[in-house]
């Protein structure tokens, strides 16, 4: 060729595994993960959740074995969700001192005091109607629900929870919970707000696992419209102003643009919740031999880190911790 052609050689930095590792921008670590767990009433109960292969409801007497395995893998934080049978209109099981989450928290903190316990602070698992607050005239009563949520947060902190994670999406829930925690002497307990929680179809398997599906209507009057982007920034901003120490985006995979927006606009740690539907889709495809589960999971979680998540709440945490050890 008579004319000189010039172009950039980007492949130089992809020439070997060692080179690619050297210049890699984002990494997954076990320190990044929170592992969600379902605690159920009864004894010697280990129920695999049909729609979430490899995830179980565990009774208190079997819980410690599972938690010790998680801890041994280097995972430093877990989140509890309760599964109970005796439910009522206001979700009393959420805030009583001997509630399932309070009991699980005391049990684990006594055995493994260094393990961080994140308490999901919501009412849907404990209400007879399956909504995240008190119901009046077939609607969730926002302000009345705040009092119960604040009481729930205090009971969880008294039991030993290290982080309070309210997921109810009531207006004002952060400031109510912050005030209640401070008044009870828990000024150093941080709040991980589910600030950006969309009304999503990806939650389906979780509602099976936690027996928390609404008995009427849906949650669209308090969870966010999936079509909205600016709404996420308004929610995150107000929660930070009200005292949130972490901001969560839920779901994660279809909302990576929102994770990046929140990261660019907030100066607190950002949490991405890799939710049940995202987990179950990968598991089902892998079981059918359609995908390489390990490769897909690692790529998917890395995309959440790349989008700006500091922390990932994921049912894959144990699997990934094992894979990371193998790589090392």
Q: Is 122 annotated among the ligand-binding residues?
A: yes
Annotated binding residue at 325?
A: no
d(CA 319, CA 322) in angstroms, rounded, equals 5
Q: Structure tokens of 116?
A: 């961080």
51, two tokens = 């729609």
Count Cβ atoms within 10 A of the Cβ of residue 319 and give its class: 0-12 exposed, 13-18 middle, 19 or more buried: middle
Give catalytic status of residue 76 as yes or no.
Answer: no
HSE-up (13 A, CA, CB side) for residue 24? 13
Residue 266 marked ligand-binding: no
Q: How far apart are the first and last CA of the chain?
A: 48
Of 46, 109, 158, 250, catalytic: 250
Note if 197 is an active site residue.
yes
Number of residues that make up the chain: 328
- 276 annotated ligand-binding residue: yes
CB-based contact 76:318 (threshold 8 Å)? no
Q: Of 197, 283, 305, 318, which is the active-site residue?
A: 197
Q: Is 315 annotated as a binding residue?
A: yes
Helix axes 173-183, 142-159, angle to 10 degrees: 40
Binding site for Zn(2+): what residues are annotated?
122, 124, 132
Binding site for 5-aminolevulinate: what residues are annotated?
207, 219, 276, 315
Binding site for Mg(2+): what residues are annotated?
235
Binding site: what residues are annotated?
122, 124, 132, 207, 219, 235, 276, 315
Task: State the catalytic residues.
Answer: 197, 250
């Amino acid at each position: 060729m008579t004319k000189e052609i010039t172009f950039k050689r980007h492949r130089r930095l992809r020439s070997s595994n060692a080179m690619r590792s050297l210049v890699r921008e984002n990494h997954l670590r076990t320190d990044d993960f929170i592992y969600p767990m379902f605690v159920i009433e009864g004894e010697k109960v280990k129920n695999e959740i049909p729609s979430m292969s490899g995830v179980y409801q565990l009774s208190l007497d079997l819980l410690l074995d599972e938690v010790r395995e998680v801890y041994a893998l280097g995972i430093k934080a877990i989140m509890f969700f309760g599964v109970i049978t005796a439910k009522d209109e206001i979700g009393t099981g959420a805030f009583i001192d001997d509630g399932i989450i309070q009991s699980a928290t005391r049990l684990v903190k006594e055995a493994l005091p260094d393990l961080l316990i994140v308490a999901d602070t919501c009412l849907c698992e404990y209400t007879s109607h399956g909504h995240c607050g008190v119901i009046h005239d077939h609607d969730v009563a926002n302000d009345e629900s705040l009092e119960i949520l604040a009481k729930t947060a205090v009971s969880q902190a008294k039991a030993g929870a290290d982080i309070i994670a309210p997921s109810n999406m009531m207006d004002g829930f952060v400031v109510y919970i912050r005030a209640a925690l401070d008044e009870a002497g828990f000024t150093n307990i941080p709040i991980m707000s589910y600030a950006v929680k969309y009304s999503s179809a990806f939650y389906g398997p979780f509602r099976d696992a936690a027996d928390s599906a609404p008995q009427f209507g849906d949650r669209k009057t308090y969870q966010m419209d999936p079509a909205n982007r600016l709404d996420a920034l308004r929610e995150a901003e107000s929660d930070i102003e009200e005292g949130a120490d972490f901001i969560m985006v839920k779901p994660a995979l279809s909302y990576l643009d929102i994770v990046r927006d929140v990261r660019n606009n907030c100066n607190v740690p950002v949490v991405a919740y890799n939710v049940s539907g995202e987990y179950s889709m990968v598991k089902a495809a892998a079981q059918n031999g359609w995908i390489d589960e390990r490769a897909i999971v690692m790529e998917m979680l890395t995309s959440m880190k790349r989008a700006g998540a500091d922390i990932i709440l994921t049912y894959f945490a144990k699997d990934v911790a094992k894979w990371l050890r193998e790589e090392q």
